Structure formats: structure tokens, C-alpha cells
Chain A
Amino acid sequence: MNAFRLAGDITHLISILVLLLKIYATKSCSGISLKTQELYAVVFLARYLDLFTDFISVYNSVMKVVFILSSVAIVWCMRRHRAVKRSYDKELDTFRHYYLVGACFVFALLVHEKFTFQEVFWAFSIYLEAVAIIPQLVLLQRSGNVDNLTGQYVFFLGAYRALYILNWIYRYFTEAKFSRWIACISGLVQTALYADFFYYYFLSWKNNAKLNLPA
């Protein structure tokens, strides 16, 4: 495992910790899209079906379990916890995420590495992860200003994607037969979705001002 990949996994982990911290410390999930969180829970559950069939490393298995449990816990909190539930911006979080799930599944049935149960679900999870951030970005755009922890959450998620791209570039040049075009193309699409957010995040950081997304 190269440094980019490790840094990518760590920023991914940090993003989840930032989100858990926000929910736990403020007992509020305002600014967070439940739809995006639900999509991530589906992404991890669909992708890590191999948890019991293919052992790669302890690191790999532990991270998989952490991602599944944390994403399910976040969804559970936002739906069931009394105080957290109250702070949810339901009227702003109206993106129809079921369409994304349907479209990604159909796409996975058409484009996959192998037509097996696990491989189709793996491809599905890759496509769904690429677009899962959309409801969150739409919510931020609608609410206009973004609180610090929410901004940092999205920033770390974006950083994770960017580091994965560096990881693939590194692997492409260092590994003899490195080809994973499904993951790479989806990853590029996913990272591109963050470009706009990153632009405004950078501006607010440079001007030392609160993060504001123009409508």
C-alpha cells in the first residue's frame, strides 16, 4: 500500500469522525443530508459483501467493518435519535436519491468486470459512491452557509477522493498490470463533483471567511 492510498483512507476516516463528532457534540445534524448518508450505507454494504469470502489483510477487514458500522450508525442517529432527528433539514434535503440507486444498479448490470453476484454489486457500489455526494451538495447549496464541521466533513471526503486518484496514478506507474478502469473513471467523476465545493472552500480559507456557497 502506497502513501497516497493510506492518506486517502485516513482522510476518509477523518471525514466520518468529523461527522460523528458534529452529531455527537452538537446533537444536531443540520446541514447534513440523510439521503447521502443512506447512500453511503448502501455503498458499503454492497461493496463489502466480500468481507467473508476474500481476506486481504487485517487492515482491510477492520476498515470495512468500521465503514459499515459508522455509516449505519449515522443513518440510525439521523432517523431515530430524538434531538438529532429534530435538527434534520428535511425540507432542504429533497433530492430523489432512489433514482440514483436505480440508475446505478441498472448501469452495474450493464457494465461490470464479471457477471457474478458479487461483481455486479461491487460495480454498483462504485457507481453509487461516485454520485452519493450529490444530495449533500444540493443541500449545502440550498442552505447557503455551511457550518465549520459540515464544511470540513465535505472537504475531507473530497480530499479522500483526490488522494485515491494520486494512488491510482502511482499504481499505474509502479505495478505491472494495473487496470481498474471502472473504479478509476467513476473516481474521476466523483472527484469532479467536488470541484465547485473545493473552489469555494479554498476561497473562504484564503479570505479567512465563513464558507458560503452561492445559490
Chain B
Amino acid sequence: AEEAAKHDEL
């Protein structure tokens, strides 16, 4: 989840 949240912007 930490990894994925890193690129939560478009």
C-alpha cells in the first residue's frame, strides 16, 4: 500500500 500510495497523483 505504501508503494502504491507513492504515485497516487496523476
**Chain A residues within 8 Å of B, Cβ to Cβ:** 5, 9, 12, 50, 54-56, 60, 63-64, 67, 113, 122, 164, 167, 180, 183
Contact = CB atoms under 8 A, between A and B. Distances in A.
A213 B5 CA distance: 41
Contacts, number: 24
18 contacts: A5-B9, A50-B4, A54-B3, A54-B4, A54-B7, A55-B4, A56-B4, A56-B8, A60-B8, A60-B10, A63-B10, A64-B10, A67-B10, A113-B6, A122-B7, A167-B9, A180-B6, A183-B9
A50 B10 CA distance: 11
A183 to B, nearest CB: 7
B8 to A, nearest CB: 5
A164 B9 contact: yes
Contacts of B8: 56, 60
Interface of B: 3-10
Q: Is the interface of A mostly helix, strand, loop or mixed?
A: helix
A5 B8 CA distance: 11
A60 B4 CA distance: 11
Nearest to A179: B6
A50 B5 CA distance: 11
Nearest to A53: B4
Contacts of A50: 4, 7
Contacts of B3: 54
Contacts of B6: 113, 180
Contacts of A167: 9
Q: Which of A56, A63, A113, A164 has the most CB of B within 10 A?
A: A56
Contacts of B4: 50, 54-56
A163 to B, nearest CB: 12
A113 B9 CA distance: 16
Contacts of B9: 5, 164, 167, 183
